[in-house]
């Protein structure tokens, strides 16, 4: 194994033992279950998640306070929000395949929301942002020490909201408000309608709509999270879970002891870590090429490299 999966202490295939929770979750409900447990145990006193329009209507005081008018928030556009209860967690479960700037709430969580122990879920790049905020807190006063649980989700790419709109409404010919779930898996982009219809788009179509910043991203499995999780590697309805830090190890251990999750050894499930490793390598190799290309992009002119 190379460095593509980062450092981790343990890896399993898992899902929540809460059947009700699983109905709301994207995969094995790892994120929602782990935060629900951490809230109950006082390990965190709130978590930053990606909520949506319905959530904002129901819990307006839990959402990012900015100039956005929540009446204007479109279906499937994520809104970073702070949750303090399991009901709120459930209302924000599930993957939104477009940008949710969760880190934008990191400082506010400790200010107007008054949290001392913050949970945050995010993509690998957002986990990088969290760790940079801890080591180089240029504008993140009193943030570093309050981060109590950072859960990372695997990520191949993300999309601007308008890209998802285009993919769902133009390519898949469905209305955004009629969509129940979106998913990327088995080499396709899946759109599930509330009335049972399913449309799949080949990733060949989705690629050009990706957010450009994703093309220099060198992390697939959230190497810097306390615990990272994704669907890839595990059977349908299960998640691959990598426990990475001391904090992650401690919280995961307690959640296991409390019966929050059922697990299977990752070596026993199909397709297992082999597929995770393969996809991680593909992503990193492709994006390293993009970075190399940027160095000779113009005629004697380079584009900026953020890693040096």
Partner 1 sequence: MADKITVGYTHLSGCTGCTVALADNYAGLLTLLDKYVDLKYMPTLADARHIQQVDVSFVEGSVCINDKLAVEEIKETREKSAIVVALGGCACYGNITRFTRGGQQNQPQHESYLPIGDLIKVDVYIPGCAPTPELIRNVAVMAYLLLKGTKEQKDLATAFLTPLMKLAAKNEACGCDLIVDVINQGLCMGCGSCAASCPVRAITMEYGKPNVERDLCIKCGACSAQCPRGFFNTDVISQYEAINEAIMAALQ
Ligand X SMILES: Cc1cc2nc3c(=O)[nH]c(=O)nc-3n(C[C@H](O)[C@H](O)[C@H](O)COP(=O)(O)OP(=O)(O)OC[C@H]3O[C@@H](n4cnc5c(N)ncnc54)[C@H](O)[C@@H]3O)c2cc1C
Residues 74/161, Cβ–Cβ less than 8 Å: yes
Q: At closest approach, how far in Å is the CB of 236 from partner 1?
A: 29
| Residue in 158, 231, 234, 239 binding partner 1, rule: CB under 8 A | 158
Task: Give backbone dihedrals phi and psi of 200, rounded to 5 degrees, phi first.
Answer: -120, 140
The residue ranges that bind ligand X (CB under 6 A) are 25-32, 49-50, 78, 92-97, 100, 102, 121-123, 153-156, 158, 184, 229-232, 239
Two structure tokens written together for 272: 């297992």
* Binder among 49, 91, 92, 155 for ligand SF4 (CB under 6 A): 155
140 in contact with partner 1 (CB under 8 A): yes
Q: Give the one entry of ligand X, ligand SF4, partner 1, none that residue 152 binds, where binding means its C-beta sits below a cut-off of 5 to 8 angstroms depending on kind.
A: none
Among residues 32 and 128, whose Cβ is nearest to ligand X? Answer: 32
**For ligand SF4, which residue of 98, 158, 223, 239 counts as binding (CB under 6 A)?**
158
| Cα–Cα distance, 81 to 138 (Å, whole number) | 23
Task: Give the x/- contact pattern for partner 1 in 170-209, rule: CB under 8 A.
Answer: ----------------------------------------
Helices 246-257 and 30-41, axial angle in degrees (round to 10): 90
Return the residue of 22, 120, 125, 184 that touches ligand SF4, per CB under 6 A: 125
What is the footprint of ligand SF4 within residues 201-240 (CB under 6 A)?
Answer: 211, 213-214, 217
Q: Is 141 in the site for partner 1 (CB under 8 A)?
A: yes
Q: Is 124 in the site for ligand SF4 (CB under 6 A)?
A: yes
């Amino acid at each position: 194994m190379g460095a593509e999966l980062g450092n981790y202490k343990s890896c399993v295939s898992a899902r929540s033992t809460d059947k009700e929770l699983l109905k709301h979750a994207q995969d094995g409900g790892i994120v929602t279950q782990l935060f629900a447990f951490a809230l109950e145990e006082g390990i965190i006193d709130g978590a930053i998640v990606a909520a949506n329009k319905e959530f904002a209507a129901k819990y307006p005081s839990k959402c990012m306070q900015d100039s956005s008018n929540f009446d204007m928030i479109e279906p499937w556009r994520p809104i970073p929000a702070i949750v303090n209860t399991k009901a709120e967690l459930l209302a924000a479960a599930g993957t939104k395949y477009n940008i949710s700037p969760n880190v934008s709430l990191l400082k506010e969580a400790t200010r107007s929301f008054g949290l001392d122990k913050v949970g945050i879920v995010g993509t690998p790049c957002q986990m990088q942002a969290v760790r940079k905020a801890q080591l180089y807190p240029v504008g993140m006063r009193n943030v570093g020490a309050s981060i109590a649980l950072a859960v990372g989700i695997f990520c191949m790419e993300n999309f601007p909201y308008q890209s998802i709109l285009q993919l769902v409404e133009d390519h898949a010919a469905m209305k955004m408000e009629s969509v129940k779930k979106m998913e990327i898996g088995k080499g396709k982009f899946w759109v599930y309608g509330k009335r049972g219809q399913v449309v799949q788009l080949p990733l060949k179509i989705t690629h050009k709509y990706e957010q450009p910043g994703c093309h220099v991203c060198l992390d697939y499995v959230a190497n810097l999270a306390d615990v990272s999780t994704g669907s890839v590697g595990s059977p349908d309805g299960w998640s691959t879970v990598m426990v990475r830090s001391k904090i992650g190890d401690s919280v995961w251990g307690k959640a296991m002891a409390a019966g929050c999750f059922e697990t299977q050894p990752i070596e026993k499930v199909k397709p297992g870590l082999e597929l995770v490793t393969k996809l991680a390598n593909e992503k990193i190799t492709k994006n390293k090429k993009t970075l190399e290309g940027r160095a000779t992009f113009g005629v004697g002119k380079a584009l900026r490299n953020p890693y040096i």
